[in-house]
Chain A
Amino acid sequence: MSEIRLPSISGTESLLLDLLEHRERFGLELVDASGGKVKRGSVYVTLARMEAKGFVESRQEDRQPGAIGLPRRLYRATPYGLKVRDAYQLLRDALALKPVEAQ
């Protein structure tokens, strides 16, 4: 029997998916919106890991001709990422029940 490999999701990844649920955002916007829970230096490492897992998608921003510097990246949550987040939220809620409440 083949083993089913379940996706894993951390608290930070769950928070980023919450922030990306309704619209695309830049990395800096996510840092600001997280209220200090996501750090500026680590946000892109986390987002790259989430992209590898299929939780988010990204694209380069549309730029005006003549714009200088590197283009920034815009991120958005994928339906799969939101599904995994919701499933883990259900699991956390279920495990948080006391034995008496669970009956």
Chain B
Amino acid sequence: MTVIPRIEALSSRFLTERSYELIVAPAIADVEYDAVNGHRLSLAQGQLSVLVAFAGAAYQDLTADSSVLRMAGLTLIPAFYFTFLIYLCQPQWAEYVAGSFGRLALPGALAALSIAPVLVCCWPERSPRRSLQPDAADA
């Protein structure tokens, strides 16, 4: 599976239809246009631009409502819980990490580990997307 179908699959899970139609789909269309009408950019550069567009669309969707606050809360709760637990059960180890890498290293690492399940499980549901192909849309 190449990058663009992967981004399309991710878009259907993580982006609203509006963000996909206005941000990601035109970026993909540009890469396809480049491929047909002489390569202005390498394929990797084109794919990178689609990836940047996807990230921008995801950021816009996330900040459009209170989702970002809810997800931040769900990330911080386990991070604080495990930080407290480690300081309680293994204080020497926690102090060693804090002394070597900084006070925020342990909670930061735990927050980073907590983000992935929150993104997968708690990202707002998106409705199924209709095709952008004009023929299919008109039918």
- Asked, given contacts A27-B30, A42-B56, A45-B57, whether A73 binds B22 with beta carbons under 8 Å apart, the answer is yes
Q: Which residues of A from 1 to 45 have beta carbons under 8 Å from B?
A: 26-28, 39-42, 44-45
Chain A, interface size category, equals 20 to 34
Q: Is the interface of B mostly helix, strand, loop or mixed?
A: helix
A48 and B23 contact, CB distance less than 8 A: yes
Interface contact tally, CB-CB below 8 A: 74
B36 sits at the interface (CB 8 A): yes
Q: Is B26 at the interface (CB under 8 A from chain A)? A: yes
Give the bracket for the number of chain B residues in contact with chain A.
Answer: 20 to 34
Say yes or no for B92: interface residue by CB 8 A criterion.
Answer: no
Interface set of A (CB-CB < 8 Å, partner B): 26-28, 39-42, 44-45, 47-49, 51, 58, 60, 63, 68-73
A41-B48, A45-B53 known; 7 new pairs, CB 8 Å cut-off, are A40-B30, A41-B56, A42-B56, A69-B33, A69-B36, A70-B26, A71-B132
